[in-house]
Amino acid sequence: MNVAAMNSLNNLQRLESDSIHILREVAACFERPVLMYSIGKDSSVLLHLAMKAFHPAKPPFPLLHVDTTWKFREMIEFRDHRARELGLDLIVHINEDGVKRGVSPFTSGATIHTDVMKTEALKQALSLHKVDCAIGGARRDEEKSRAKERVMSFRDANHVWNPRQQRPELWDLYNCRVGPGESVRAFPLSNWTEADVWHYIRAENIPVVPLYYAAERPVVERGGQLIMADDDRLELQPGEEIRTEKIRFRTLGCYPLTAAVRSDAADLDAVIAETLSSRRSEREGRIIDFDQSASMEKKKREGYF
Amino acid sequence: MGALQNNTQLRFLTCGSVDDGKSTLIGRLLHDAHLILDDQSQSLEADSKRFGTVKDGIDYALLVDGLEAEREQGITIDVAYRYFQTPKRSFIVADTPGHEQYTRNMATGASTAELAVILVDARKGLLTQTRRHSFIAHLLGIRHVLLCVNKMDLVDYAEDVFAAIERDYLAFAAALDFESVSAVPVSALNGDNVTAKSGQMPWFNGKCVLDFLETVQVGAGKDSAGARLPVQWVCRPDGDFRGFAGNVSGAALRPGDAVVIEPDGAPTSIQSIETYDGNLDVAVPGQAVTLTLADDVDVARGDVIRHADSPTQTSDQVQAHLIWMSPQAMIPGRQYEIKIAAASARAWVSDLRYAINVNTLEHVAQKTLSLNDVGVCNLSFDRRLAVDAYKACPRTGAFILIDRETNETVGAGMIDFALRRSLNLTRQKLSLDKEVRSESLRQKPAVLWFTGLSGAGKSTVANIVDQKLHLAGRHTYMLDGDNVRHGLNRDLGFTDADRVENIRRIAEVAKLFVDAGMIVLVSAISPFRSDRDMARDLMQPGEFFEIHVDASLETCEQRDPKGLYARARRGEIANFTGISSPYEVPKAAELRIDTDAVDPESAADMIIKLLDKR
């Protein structure tokens, strides 16, 4: 962003510079960092910031995607295209043990599917690649327990987060020291809001998965929510039928666990206008959050991102 | 929408205890500005019924108290960050607990804030905690304060109550040199003067809370010290390009500006300011950029590129305010890892001048700092660092201390000024140096450091080694912990602080003998790893041999040559290593001798072999 005309930074410029600072600290202080690339809008911003932070060099760490095998097909295409286009290393990790056991969001339920294919898979990947810092796109405004998490969030050798024993974090002086087997999850977007993310995407012209824009797509209505029929693994229950509706997504995850919203917002400006006037928070479309009260804090303590 | 893309940012801190209605104020601010979404509002209603402390109403505090323990106990434990945006500004709010045992959390929230919102209960007026919160805000360099006199509904919206509290506060705050102090009477519960002027208090002429926050000017980013760029990352994509990445602080930098690389002092100038979006004509405070320099000077992470007209204070000793954040007390002399901007070094408190009572601001003489203590100390580094006074440049004046064993962040501090003493006191250059002296003795000097529990056999083994070396024509000297305590260290006891000083003196004496070319045998329990590392760091690489004389506690108790274990078990000796004080086992000793399995003669031979192998 061009600030030549100004003598101080505006909100988005401050957020950008602070995030770049965090990414550079990670690169300088850790031996084997990875950038957790989950293909959503926050990841797209994170990746863009990483390209900026190390310019004219490439980011000095690979991308890691934990693939639950249930992501939208368009997400996977977008992921492979972006990594190729930017010339970055992409590690894709699937929990093969979970695949063998036939774990799926339909037969196993949202909680078990997420535990095995996401949380377990993530721990496997981090241990396998001896990752000492995993950079993620989580924001503090997403959810209450995230609001208290550090930018550099320490995990013990079992990947466990202890919310009552967090390291004090002052100024932008990040403690990056870990012992053998221990690691840190770094969250450069901690201070961004959903609105900041969208405004930045527009200001910087950052590509995002087309699923964020409204289009005619095949859906079924299930439990009051719209689920997209992304492939033939979605089995219809009695009384259900697939119909075509103009929908889009506010967040992206596993297609059976991510509810769509009816919308006419087919381009970026329309999406921003809709987001800002929305009376519902974005995580409402995430089915796993509603399993139990304080569910995110519990998942995070167990090692979920 | 267009406005939101260009709006400014304000980071503020709210302080006050639960009873003052701090969380209620933030909740009310979000609610009345229509910034709470429908599904959040639904879960807030459900949570209010379950955990709420407001009878038959919405408990806005639950919006901010996120951790399960906080919701169950109805208190704020940790710093929570909240975000809200209006067409004029984006706000980042740090909500911190008010109790004294959470001083460190408040300091954490204050470290990134530009303004403090301090709540006072209109019925109670200024309390000890109001003074404490104001002092911590001042300590962390916050220059603007908004005093919210809350619960005006409970004093019948009386003007004279508000006026008296405002007057008291201004009188108190005069000593804290804030740039601006404003006061507003509110009822957070009813929403008076929160997002709109209240009809209940027509006598109040100022702005409501939201209006004030949207318009206050805090002058972010300008520092009196001038322009700096602490180097975070050296960017070398290929052989041709060499850039130095970091965030600008204090003032703007431009291509062609004359700069100096600190702490070495090499002069050069800025060739270009590179970013992903192209080269810049100017980089403003806060901005993340990559600089290239006109000359091929040596620059590494941790160095500071500063404007030629704006010198840093480069020193290996500073005076600083230190906030202690660990249950493990700060002990002068103990070594910690310091992080200051992008630089790391070893640091220790060389003199704890006094602690400050955060409630009364009185100076208190203390030997150590405990959790949540604030102290003023002299801090030494193991090398010269480019620093500034925190007031003049927070980025190069703020630091954290990290425990080298546990990797915990144990302290945070703000530099007052660099101490020049270390610069004036140059080390006397000796014409006969260590090399010359050791050559004439025909030996390489060394320290054999015997550590282990009392009764493990340190002195027994050390004595045999000493005799054998002497017979082989080597020049040795023995420093026995017990003997030194009868003379040089007669003034020291067995508290943690005294143990650290005991080892420091023994290590310094050992160093003098090494300078004289001698082989020194030190026999001392030396229970703390950080102290043994400190001794090691005093010597040249290859001179220091840590020998762990190891025997189980049971064995040592059975041997008990001086009858000390028996007395410690009876409670007659306090702080006895192995019984009531810890022994930290060496992680990387040059040699470990298990005296349960190896006899002293063989042990001595192993040590001499180790020495001869050099």
For chain B, give the mean pLDDT.
Answer: 88
B497: enclosing H helix or E strand: helix B496-515
Domains delineated in chain B: 2-215 (3.40.50.300), 228-307 (2.40.30.10), 315-420 (2.40.30.10), 434-612 (3.40.50.300)
pLDDT of residue A291: 46
Subunit contact A24:B221, Cβ cutoff 8 A: no
3-state secondary structure of B89: strand
- Catalytic status, residue B526: yes
Would the pLDDT of B429 be above 60?
no
Contact between B576 and B570 under an 8 Å Cβ cutoff? The reply is no
Spatial separation of the C-alpha atoms in residues B137 and B181, rounded to whole Å: 12
What b-and-e string marks burial along B422-449, b requiring 16 or more CB atoms within 10 Å of the CB? beeeeeeeeeeeeeebbeeeebebbbbb
- Residue B389 tokens read as 């006074």
pLDDT of residue A287: 59
Closest CA to A187 of A123, A135, A251: A135
pLDDT of residue A224: 87
Other beta carbons less than 10 A from residue B482's beta carbon? 12
pLDDT of residue B81: 85
B347: enclosing H helix or E strand: strand B343-356
Closest CA to A85 of A266, A206, A252, A250: A206
pLDDT of residue B102: 77
Spatial separation of the C-alpha atoms in residues B358 and B371, rounded to whole Å: 13
Contact between A17 and A9 under an 8 Å Cβ cutoff? The reply is yes
B108: enclosing H helix or E strand: helix B103-111
Closest CA to A82 of A53, A118, A116, A45: A45
pLDDT tier at B563, thresholds 50, 70, 90? confident
Q: Which amino acid is at B53?
A: T
Would the pLDDT of B587 be above 70?
yes
pLDDT of residue A64: 97
- Positions of E strands within B484-598: 519-523, 544-550, 591-594
Task: Assign residue B13 a region (left: φ > 0; alpha: ψ between -120 and 50; beta: otherwise).
Answer: beta
pLDDT of residue A206: 96
pLDDT of residue B196: 92
Subunit contact A9:B342, Cβ cutoff 8 A: no
- Residue B18 tokens read as 């639960």
User: Least CB-CB distance to A163: which of B67, B220, B399?
Assistant: B67
Other beta carbons less than 10 A from residue B257's beta carbon? 18
Q: Which of A25, A26, A140, A144 would you mutate first to test chain B, the one with the most B CBs within 10 A?
A: A144
Spatial separation of the C-alpha atoms in residues B291 and B305, rounded to whole Å: 9
pLDDT tens for residues B108-149?
999 999 999 999 999 999 988 888 889 999 999 999 999 999
Average pLDDT over residues B83-91: 88
User: Least CB-CB distance to A17: which of B90, B247, B409?
Assistant: B247
pLDDT of residue B51: 63
Average pLDDT over residues B495-513: 90
pLDDT tens for residues B274-332?
999 999 999 999 999 999 999 999 999 999 999 999 999 989 999 999 999 999 999 99
The three-point CA angle A300-A304-A305 to 5° equals: 95
User: Least CB-CB distance to B7: which of A11, A21, A280?
Assistant: A11
pLDDT of residue A3: 45
Q: What percent of chain B has pLDDT over 70?
A: 90
B368-371 — which CB contacts under 8 Å span 24+ positions? B368/B329, B368/B330, B368/B331, B368/B332, B368/B496, B368/B497, B369/B322, B369/B324, B369/B329, B369/B330, B369/B411, B370/B324, B370/B329, B370/B330, B371/B101, B371/B104, B371/B324, B371/B325, B371/B326, B371/B327, B371/B329
Decide if A6 touches B, using CB distance below 8 A.
yes
B399: enclosing H helix or E strand: strand B398-402
What is the SS3 assignment for B227-245?
CEEECCEEECCCCCCCEEE
Subunit contact B85:A195, Cβ cutoff 8 A: yes
For residue A166, list chain B residues with Cβ-Cβ distance below 8 A. Answer: 78
> Which residues have a Cβ under 8 Å from the Cβ of B82 and sit 6 or more positions away?
A141, A147, B26, B30, B63, B64, B92, B93, B95
Would the pLDDT of B559 be above 80?
yes
pLDDT tier at B86, thresholds 50, 70, 90? confident
What is the SS3 assignment for B168-195?
HHHHHHHHHCCCEEEEEECECCCCECCC
Decide if A177 touches B, using CB distance below 8 A.
yes
- Residue B121 tokens read as 């209960």
Strand partners, B355: B364, B375
pLDDT tens for residues B454-482?
999 999 999 999 999 988 889 999 999 88
Spatial separation of the C-alpha atoms in residues B477 and B513, rounded to whole Å: 8
Subunit contact B81:A14, Cβ cutoff 8 A: no
Subunit contact B68:A273, Cβ cutoff 8 A: no
pLDDT tier at B197, thresholds 50, 70, 90? very high
Subunit contact A55:B233, Cβ cutoff 8 A: no
Spatial separation of the C-alpha atoms in residues A242 and B580, rounded to whole Å: 72
Domains delineated in chain A: 11-198+294-301 (3.40.50.620), 211-288 (no CATH)
Shortest CA gap B104–chain A (Å): 8
For residue A269, list chain B residues with Cβ-Cβ distance below 8 A. Answer: 1
> CA of A10: which chain B residue's CA is closest?
B8
- From B526, B530, B580, B602, active-site residue: B526
Shortest CA gap A113–chain B (Å): 24
pLDDT of residue B46: 74
Closest CA to B83 of A202, A201, A124, A15: A15
Least confident of B16-30, B124-138, B408-422: B16-30
Average pLDDT over residues B350-362: 90
Decide if A130 touches B, using CB distance below 8 A.
no
- Residue in the block written with tokens 């404007």: B307
Other beta carbons less than 10 A from residue A73's beta carbon? 11
pLDDT of residue B424: 46
User: Least CB-CB distance to A173: which of B38, B282, B398?
Assistant: B398
> What are φ and ψ of residue B21, in 5° steps?
85, 35
| Separation in Å, CA B346 to CA A176, B30, B374, B379, B528 | 15, 45, 21, 10, 17
Would the pLDDT of B216 be above 70?
yes
Shortest CA gap A71–chain B (Å): 26
Q: Which amino acid is at B56?
A: D
> Which residues have a Cβ under 8 Å from the Cβ of B583 and sit 6 or more positions away?
B452, B453, B525, B527, B577
* Ranges in chain A, pLDDT < 50: 1-5, 289-293
pLDDT tier at B580, thresholds 50, 70, 90? confident
Spatial separation of the C-alpha atoms in residues B216 and B145, rounded to whole Å: 10
Spatial separation of the C-alpha atoms in residues B110 and B454, rounded to whole Å: 47
Other beta carbons less than 10 A from residue B574's beta carbon? 12
Higher pLDDT, B257 or B439: B257
Closest CA to A13 of B289, B87, B307, B398: B289
Would the pLDDT of B31 be above 60?
yes
Decide if A167 touches B, using CB distance below 8 A.
yes
pLDDT of residue A106: 86
> CA of A22: which chain B residue's CA is closest?
B232
- Residue B340 tokens read as 């200051």
Least confident of B23-37, B65-79, B178-192: B65-79
The three-point CA angle B80-A300-A90 to 5° equals: 110
| Separation in Å, CA B498 to CA A304, B322, B362, B459, B502 | 45, 21, 26, 22, 6
For residue B290, list chain A residues with Cβ-Cβ distance below 8 A. Answer: 55
pLDDT tier at B366, thresholds 50, 70, 90? very high
Closest CA to A28 of A168, A133, A172: A133
> CA of B407: which chain A residue's CA is closest?
A177
Would the pLDDT of B440 be above 70?
yes
Subunit contact A27:B233, Cβ cutoff 8 A: yes
- Residue B290 tokens read as 């990559």
pLDDT tier at B76, thresholds 50, 70, 90? low
3-state secondary structure of B207: coil
Subunit contact B284:A163, Cβ cutoff 8 A: no
Would the pLDDT of B64 be above 70?
no
Subunit contact A202:B80, Cβ cutoff 8 A: no
Higher pLDDT, A236 or B32: A236
Q: Which of A7, A8, A13, A202 would you mutate first to test chain B, the one with the most B CBs within 10 A?
A: A8
The three-point CA angle B536-B538-B542 to 5° equals: 55
User: Least CB-CB distance to A195: which of B4, B39, B288?
Assistant: B4
Give the strand pairing for A183-186 and B258-262.
unpaired
pLDDT tens for residues B291-304?
999 999 999 999 99
Provide the ipTM: 0.89
- Residue B43 tokens read as 């879960």
Number of CB pairs < 8 Å for A and B?
191
